[in-house]
Chains A and B, each alone.
Chain A
Amino acid sequence: MDILQLLISGLANGCVYGLIALGFVLIYKATEAVNFAQGDFMMFGAFITIWLTNADYMGINFYLAVPLAILIMGILGYLLDMLVIRRMFGQPQIAVVILTIAIGFILRFIAGVIWGHEPHLLETPFAGKELKIGSLVLGFEEIAIIIVTLLLTLFLFLFFRKAKLGQAMQAASQNQLAAYYVGIPVKKVQSLIWALAGVVAAVAGALFASKGAIDPSTGLLGIKAFAAAVIGGFGSLPGALIGGLIIGVVEPFAAYYLPAGYSQVAPYAIMLLVLILRPAGLFSQMQNKKV
């Protein structure tokens, strides 16, 4: 049963990676920028949830605190775009990359100043509860993580497929000027996307903090989520989740079977392999420029 246990815990971890990767993909799909601070968004979302929920801080009821944290992160995402990112209109992709890296550093610093650098754990009502199936022991947190992630991915997937706003977002990414001409409020749409990325980050943060302790440098997890997004090929939402799950599952197995030191290498090695063999990920969107 060992293997099954590893698999479940890997899946739960993978869901968090997948959720961060979803944040990357959301923003990439809609604005063609990559938010290198998405991992730090997640960290920040987690801290806000902890700050609202934990008895040491505000001590608000968990089921009230989480939506509140999600709302706060959404507003933060919206404001960040409105005040900073939007000014980058028309500049090369890489300028936004560098900008978001810098924002990540700043978020990490702010979190450190407010909440310190000791690890924090989110106090959830289902902490410590377990579900026993035979010899298999499942933590409630793990089950919650998997269910919430699946629901969120499904919702976002349908949102981009069916909802008018989702389609407007896609259109705005492919040709901003043309999107303007057909009456899409491109700026507002872009800010909404960043808000949505903030929301996803808050969910990911709350889930992650319920399972393991977080500190300001947890945001570096974002790099693993990159691996997930790359495997999924930056444009695909389900792809990001699948990529996250692959990374999440590979990790515990590598740690179990490989000598110490080699296991950390596994996710990045997989990512590099995917990059080299399928430069645009497994679900490619690249096209050649017409001349």
Chain B
Amino acid sequence: MRFVFKRSYDDDIKLFKHRQQAGYYVLLLVLMMALPWLVDDFFLGEATNVLILAIAGMGLMLLTGQTGQVSLGHAAFMALGCYLNVILMQRGVPFIISLPLAGIITGIVGAIIAMPILRLHGIYLAIGTLAISVLSEDIIVISKKWTGGVIGLVAEPINIFGLDIDRYGTPILFYFLVLFVTLFVLLIFRNILRAPLGRAFAAIRDSEVSAQALGVNVTKTKITAFALSCGIVGLAGGLLGHFAGAFNHETFNLVLSIQLLLMIVIGGLGSIHGAFFGAVIVGFLPQLIAISRDGISSIFNLGSLPLPGIETASFAFILVIFIMFEPRGIYGVWIKIRTYFELFPFYRKNMFKRQKSYLKTERMK
């Protein structure tokens, strides 16, 4: 176990706990930068997808993991970001402005929707946001004039300062674009967490009464969290539009909303790592299933069994296992493994044992 001796207040404020930790992350970043030359185009596309999912995951994590407000409707805001970005681009706005603008407008819309919806607690909030997700699909179909209805829209290629960026034409550039947005969102996320606002979020998550008694305007802070979360998810949506090329209302259906939530739960609620771990699982699961299915059917000579829904189902199964045995998700497992090696050979099995507790009624808010 490494003990950090703190010498100044800045030791708590800095982005990294100590030099070694900063070193690890620089190494990771270098690896990410070199990735296009290490893997083929297909894998790079998958990695891009994972990064987009991670951005969306961070967006939802800010709301659910940090502020404790559940949303089952975030696909709606991804859709909004995606459609706004493409609609703006169709009207001649360059991508470099349209994407941030799409994010900002999505954030503002999120804030407006948050005002009534965040008065709800617990399951009511979950159901209310679920309704938003279902409604958004219908709204996309109805507002055909803008969204192309069931046919959907096609994302134009991106042009930044004369540089053409396209998912298929120039996958490396597109990857770097997504990586840049990921890092940008990551930095903002970290900054907020170490600032008063981030602490106010955590305060609301853990005890609204006492947050209020310390001067946190609970309603306003929750709305801020929702708006920020929607804005980030809107950015992810904008990128997803370009990644998918063509999209319609079904791209952003309820299943995506639910998947986003399940993703951050599997990854580990309340940590930035969790958003990334979850994104990796969701992003690579389909490949993993395809490979293992090929393996199984070649052994048993089954041919190719059509099993629609197997991806969501195995994903759900993994989630059930995690919720039952490691509610802190992959991040929790990660911490345990890390502690094991740091303390070797002094790790005790029950170090992270949770205290048994009983249901506390949530009918009292």
Contacts and interface: CB of A to CB of B under 8 A. Distances in A.
Direct contact of A and B (CB under 8 A): yes
Interface string B312-324: 1101110110011
A230 B365 contact: no
A103 interface: yes
Interface string B123-134: 110111011101
A1 interface: no
Interface residues of B, number: 51
Q: How large is the interface on A (under 10, 10 to 19, 20 to 34, 35 or more residues)?
A: 35 or more
B319 A226 contact: no
Contact of A89 (B123, B358, B361): B358
Contacts of B261: 98, 101
Query: Max chain A CB contacts within 10 Å: which of B126, B127, B135, B356?
Result: B127
B308 A275 contact: no
Contacts of B121: 279, 286
B142 interface: yes
Contacts of A110: 313
Interface stretch (A50-58, A62-70, A257-265): A257-265
Contact of A97 (B126, B132, B308, B320): B126
A288 interface: yes
Main secondary structure of the interface of B (DSSP, over half): helix
A175 B124 CA distance: 21
Interface stretch (B44-52, B112-120, B280-288): B112-120
B363 A108 contact: no
A262 B142 contact: yes
A174 B361 contact: yes
Interface in B28-83: 70
B124 A275 contact: yes
Interface in B248-281: 254, 258, 261-262, 265
B310 A289 contact: no
A35 to B, nearest CB: 11
Contacts of B138: 261-262, 264-265
Query: Max chain A CB contacts within 10 Å: which of B70, B121, B126, B315?
Result: B126
A204 B323 CA distance: 29
B245 interface: no
A102 B319 contact: yes
Interface string A89-100: 111111101110
Nearest to B131: A268
Contacts, number: 155
A112 B308 contact: yes
A275 B117 contact: yes
A34 interface: yes
B265 A226 contact: no
Given A32-B363, A289-B365, A102 B122 contact: no
A261 B320 contact: no
Contacts of B361: 32, 173-175
Contacts of A101: 258, 261-262, 316
B316 A84 contact: no
Given A113-B307, A291-B209, A90 B359 contact: yes
A271 B320 CA distance: 29
A109 B310 contact: yes
Interface in A232-291: 234, 261-262, 264-265, 268-269, 271-272, 275-276, 279-280, 285-291
Contacts of A163: none
Contacts of A89: 356-359
A87 interface: yes
B4 interface: no
A104 B124 CA distance: 19
Interface in B119-159: 119-124, 126-128, 130-132, 134-135, 138-139, 141-142
Contacts of B100: none
Nearest to B213: A291
A261 B141 contact: yes
A37 B344 CA distance: 43
Nearest to B141: A261
B312 A109 contact: yes
B10 interface: no
Contacts of A60: none
Contact of A289 (B116, B128, B132, B364): B364
Nearest to B317: A106
A202 B135 CA distance: 29
A95 B130 contact: no
A22 interface: no
A223 interface: yes
A88 interface: yes
A99 B320 contact: yes
Contact of A272 (B119, B128, B313, B365): B128
Nearest to A108: B309
A87 B262 CA distance: 19
A227 interface: yes
A105 interface: yes
A286 B138 CA distance: 32
Contacts of A227: 131
Contacts of B126: 34, 94, 97
Contacts of B327: 91, 95
A98 to B, nearest CB: 5
Query: Max chain A CB contacts within 10 Å: which of B139, B258, B309, B324?
Result: B309
6 contacts: A88-B323, A97-B126, A112-B309, A226-B127, A272-B131, A285-B363
Interface of A: 28, 31-32, 34, 84, 87-95, 97-99, 101-106, 108-110, 112-113, 117, 173-177, 216, 220, 223, 226-227, 230, 234, 261-262, 264-265, 268-269, 271-272, 275-276, 279-280, 285-291
Given A97-B70, A112-B308, 6 more contacts: A90-B357, A102-B317, A109-B307, A230-B124, A268-B135, A279-B124
Nearest 7 A-B pairs (CB), nearest first?
A: A109-B313, A90-B357, A102-B316, A105-B316, A289-B364, A276-B116, A176-B358
